[in-house]
Structures are given as C-alpha cells and as structure tokens.
Amino acid sequence: MNKATFREFGTTLEDLTHDIARSCRRGARTLAAMPWPTMLACCIALAIVLTLLVSILPLALFLFAAFMALKLIIVGFAVHTRRGRGEDYKL
C-alpha cells in the first residue's frame, strides 16, 4: 500500500470515527431531553427488537448452514454417480 492510499484510508477512518462520535453525542442529547415515560417505551421497544433479532438471526444462520450442507451432499452424490457411469459433467 503506497503512502497516498494509506493517507486516504486514514482520512476515511478519521471521518468515520467523527461521524460515529457525532451520532453518539446526538443520541445522548436526545436521551437526556426525553421524558421518562417515552424513554421507558423506547427501551421496551429496543428490547423487543433485540430479542427478535437475537432469536431469529441464529435460526437463519443455522438454516443457511444446514441447506448449504444438504446442497453439498446432493452435489457430491450426483458427481459420484456420474463418475461411476462415465458421463461427462461440468462444474
């Protein structure tokens, strides 16, 4: 990586950290200005969203891995049977 590319990469990372810090400060100011009942409702909504993501995301990853493994097994059997019969196949 040459110096110009590294400087551009460093500038991009610096801009990213400034944007993240600005967003965090804005969120903290918004939370500080919120009344308690609204903050409670936001916390409950955030907890529900995180609970759904945490319970659905592992299920989706497991199903992806399971179907990918099933696909590899089926392809393996198909290639094995075609080799046994002497047929040409294209991957």
Question: What residue spans define the domains of the chain?
Answer: 51-91
Whole-number pLDDT of residue 88:
60
Instruction: Map residue 6 onto helix, strand or coil.
Output: helix
Cβ neighbours for 34, distance < 8 A, ≥ 6 positions apart: 42
CA distance 59 to 67: 12
pLDDT value at position 89?
56
Per residue in 21-80, pLDDT (tens digit) is 999 999 889 888 889 888 888 888 888 888 888 888 788 888 899 999 999 888 888 887
**E strands along 1-49, which residues?**
none
What six digits make up the tokens of 61?
């990853």
Looking at per-residue pLDDT, the higher value among 74 and 89 belongs to: 74
| pTM for this model (two decimals) | 0.47
